[in-house]
């Protein structure tokens, strides 16, 4: 099914795999005909814009706080939402998205504490967990199995 | 940047987990109310958290959680009788609505 509206919610960009995985997965979904919007902090979005200055992989971005406000006020909605997380704050954002959005939720959990963070997720979300910090391949391989 | 960062606030707990922030509010407030993620306070801050999200009243101060992706959860307090009144009113409405449902 093409033409889905998909939201990526980026966590803190301190774990290196996040930026490359977001670029990779956004590109893949776009090639399947989906529309991807990436929300993140100013630092997370700057990493993307420097890596992809001409927007080949990332089409739309938005400030994370604005994204939350727009979801709550029903100004935007998505079919699928991928929340990238490697710490408690990321897990907390995922919990909020599970309440304020009707999108099917995926929790993409990575970083050195991936397993313990994943165990704290008690909200409805499909969990994709890989202990990836510098090497994105384990996470990429798991995301390649997601079919939209 | 949310309006909160430009307000006169006190930081009561810094860079902690959301669970610990919630417990701090529950233990250190005169009154505790629970809201869902997305509850709006002040001009433009939508509360982020794992439900049930605790919000507290201590004297004239509103105690609430503030989550930043790179720094974790904070407990902040801001003097605001208006926001405390909003929580009390919302709690009253919840109780009345559950009483009405109980009568049906």
Whether residue A56 lies inside any domain: the answer is: yes
Is the residue at A53 inside a domain?
A: yes
Across A47-56, A110-119, B3-12, B47-56, least confident range: B3-12
Provide the residue range defining the domain that includes A119.
5-143
Q: Is A119 an interface residue toward B (CB < 8 Å)?
A: no
| Of the listed ranges A124-128, B2-6, B14-18, B59-63, the one predicted with least confidence | B2-6
- Percentage of residues of chain B with pLDDT beyond 70: 97
Total CB pairs under 8 A between chain A and B? 69
Q: Hey, is the C-beta of A71 within 8 angstroms of any chain B C-beta?
A: yes
Number of domain units in chain B: 1
Q: Is the residue at A148 inside a domain? A: no
What is the interface pTM, i.e. ipTM, of the complex?
0.91
- The per-residue pLDDT for A109 is 98
> What residues make up the domain containing B7?
3-103
The pLDDT of residue A63: 97
For the domain that residue A123 is a member of, what is the CATH number?
Answer: 3.40.50.10160
Over range B19-35, report the average pLDDT.
98
Confidence of residue B80 (pLDDT cuts 50, 70, 90): very high
pLDDT at B17 over 70: yes
* For range B45-69, the mean pLDDT: 97
Note the pLDDT tens digit of each residue in A37-92. Answer: 999 999 999 999 999 999 999 999 999 999 999 999 999 999 999 999 999 999 99
B103 confidence band (pLDDT: 50, 70, 90): confident
Q: What is the mean pLDDT of residues A8-17?
A: 97
The model's pLDDT over A65-78, given as tens digits with 9 standing for 90+, comes to: 999 999 999 999 99
A76 touches chain B (CB under 8 A): no
Mean pLDDT of B20-35: 98
Of B37, B40, B70, which is closest to A96 when you measure between CB atoms?
B37
When divided into structural domains, chain A yields a total of: 1
- Segment A10-17 shows an average pLDDT of 96
Contact between A93 and A9 under an 8 Å Cβ cutoff? The reply is yes
Exposed e or buried b per residue across A42-69, where buried means at least 16 C-beta atoms within 10 angstroms of its C-beta: eebbebbeeebeeeebbeebeebbebbb
On whether residue A88 sits in a domain, the answer given is yes
pLDDT at A105: 98
The pLDDT of residue B1 is 52
Are A15 and A133 in contact, with CB atoms under 8 Å apart? yes
Mean pLDDT, rounded, for B7-27: 97
pLDDT of residue B6: 83
CB contact under 8 A, B2 and A72: no
CB contact burial A3-19 (16+ within 10 A = b; e otherwise): ebebbbbbbbbebbbbb
B19, B48, B71 member nearest A93 (Cβ): B48
- Of the pLDDT bands very low, low, confident and very high (cuts 50, 70, 90), residue B100 is confident
């Amino acid at each position: 099914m093409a033409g889905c509206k998909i939201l990526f919610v980026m966590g803190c960009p301190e774990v290196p795999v996040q930026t490359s995985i977001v670029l990779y997965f956004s590109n893949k979904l776009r090639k399947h005909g989906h529309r991807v919007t990436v929300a993140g902090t100013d630092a997370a979005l700057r990493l993307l814009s420097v890596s992809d200055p001409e927007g080949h992989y990332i089409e739309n971005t938005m400030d994370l706080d604005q994204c939350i406000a727009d979801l709550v006020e029903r100004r935007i909605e998505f079919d699928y939402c991928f929340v990238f997380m490697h710490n408690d704050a990321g897990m907390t954002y995922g919990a909020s998205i599970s309440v304020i959005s009707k999108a099917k939720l995926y929790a993409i959990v990575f970083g050195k504490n991936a397993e313990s963070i994943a165990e704290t997720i008690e909200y409805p979300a499909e969990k994709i967990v890989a202990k990836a910090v510098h090497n994105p391949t384990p996470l990429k391989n798991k995301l390649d199995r997601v079919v939209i | 940047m949310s309006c909160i960062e430009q307000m006169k606030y006190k930081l009561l707990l810094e860079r902690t987990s959301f669970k610990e922030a919630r417990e701090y509010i529950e233990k250190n407030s005169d009154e505790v109310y629970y809201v869902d993620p997305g509850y709006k306070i002040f001009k433009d801050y939508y509360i982020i958290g794992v439900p049930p999200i605790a919000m507290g009243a201590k004297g004239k101060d509103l105690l609430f959680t503030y989550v930043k992706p790179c720094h974790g959860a904070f407990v902040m307090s801001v003097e605001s009788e208006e926001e405390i009144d909003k929580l009390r009113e919302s709690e009253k409405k919840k109780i009345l609505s559950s009483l009405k449902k109980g009568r049906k």
